[in-house]
Amino acid sequence: MTRRLKKAELHCHIEGAAAPALALSQAGKYGVDPATFMRDGSYAWNDFAEFIKAYDRVAALFRTEEDYALLTETYLRELADVDTIYSEIIVSPDHGDRIGLGADTYLAGITAGIEAARAATGIEARIIVTGERHFGPESVIAAAEYAARSNNPLVTGFNMAGEERMGRVADYARAFDIAREAGLGLTIHAGEVCGAFSVADALDLVKPARIGHGVRAIEDPELVRRLVDLGTVLEVCPGSNIALKVFPDFASHPLVKFHEAGVRVCINSDDPPFFDTSLAQEYDWASSEFGFTDAEIDGMTRTAIEAAFVDEETRARLLARL
């Protein structure tokens, strides 16, 4: 049982954290037919491409600053209830723009949700702006420019999510240059749907401190050694990987192999209700399915805090809470 362990998460997409009950109430509010994204009380999708479409449909149910504040506060309170002390939330200004809310108001709602959850529970959180790869390089560059000029102190990182099979990392490298020059922490989804080459591209062209997933790097032992040498942190999301059939089951998931090889790894939920998981569930699986001891799981939580995109004073405060 990992219930009493302190937890930290670096990889959760805010719209992907919307519980089905909340999505249903938002659908009612805006007169959207739930059959467009849900079947038998669960989000409906069959493969990665359908998952991305379902995600975008659920994202479109959040249309005001208050909707985003509610979504964010609800998720962070849930995390705090299971002893989570830190969370990085992946947000996409494109979603704010696409529903006509605008990126500033979208971020204002998320910021209000973070502040309310922190005041109520003490949980610390930061915002990672992401470009969506399937919206194309221009949109990802625009997201980076937006993040770079944001003067919101909670915006501390830049990411790229979405359809990994669209284009190559090189097409998006400029966006990461912009974010790096602005002093943002860098992470990128790679090696989830695509193979080891995608992780190698990310290391060559983006030089990120962390990689979202990265798990298919296991296909190339040389690349695994490179991850160890660089100290790159993999934000591993086992429940997501199994739901999306990146690996058929826990037994074939490479988390233990990475850990044994000395790759820095941490545990994350990605889009919890889409994959029938939660951060608490992922921590339990780390013990029950992967066989990690409490001390090893605490080590992964420590890795998450060490790799968090926060100022050093906050990092020291968080480490002292472990």
Ligand X SMILES: Nc1ncnc2[nH]cnc12
Q: Residues in the site for ligand X, rule: CB under 6 A?
A: 13, 16, 55, 161-162, 189, 192, 240, 270-271
Task: Residue 278: name the closest of 7, 62, 4 by CA.
Answer: 7
Q: How far is the CB of 229 from ligand X (least distance, A)?
A: 26
Nearer to Zn ion, 27 or 127 (CB): 127
Q: How far is the CB of 28 from ligand X (least distance, A)?
A: 24
Return the one option of ligand X, Zn ion, none that residue 16 interacts with (CB less than 5 to 8 A, by type): ligand X
Do the bridges between strand 38-39 and strand 124-132 make them parallel or antiparallel, or are there none, so unpaired?
unpaired
Q: How far is the CB of 128 from Zn ion (least distance, A)?
A: 10
Nearer to ligand X, 212 or 318 (CB): 212
Residue 177 marked as a ligand binder? no
Residue 271 marked as a ligand binder? yes
Residues 6+ apart with CB under 8 A from 85: 6, 7, 8, 122, 123, 124, 318, 321, 322
CA dihedral 152, 153, 156, 160 (to 10 degrees): -10
User: Looking at 9, 73, 164, 192, which residue is catalytic?
Assistant: 192
Residue 229 marked as a ligand binder? no
Do the bridges between strand 264-267 and strand 233-236 make them parallel or antiparallel, or are there none, so unpaired?
parallel
Return the one option of Zn ion, ligand X, none that residue 109 interacts with (CB less than 5 to 8 A, by type): none
Return the one option of ligand X, Zn ion, none that residue 240 interacts with (CB less than 5 to 8 A, by type): ligand X
Q: Catalytic site residue 192? A: yes
Six-digit token string for 30? 């805006």
Residues 6+ apart with CB under 8 A from 157: 88, 126, 127, 128, 129, 179, 184, 185, 186, 187, 309
String marking each residue 241-280 x if it binds Zn ion according to CB under 5 A = -----------------------------x----------
Task: Residue 135: name the closest of 185, 105, 190, 175 by CA.
Answer: 175
The yes or no reply on residue 56 touching Zn ion (CB under 5 A) is: no
Residue 11 marked as a ligand binder? yes
Q: How far is the CB of 162 from ligand X (least distance, A)?
A: 5
Task: Residue 67: name the closest of 115, 104, 101 by CA.
Answer: 101
Residue 13 marked as a ligand binder? yes
Give CA–CA dist 144/13, Å, rounded: 17
Nearest residue relative to Zn ion (C-beta): 270
First and final CA of the chain: distance in angstroms?
Answer: 17
Active-site positions read 192
Binding site per annotation, positions for substrate: 271
Residue ranges that bind Zn ion, judged by CB under 5 A: 270
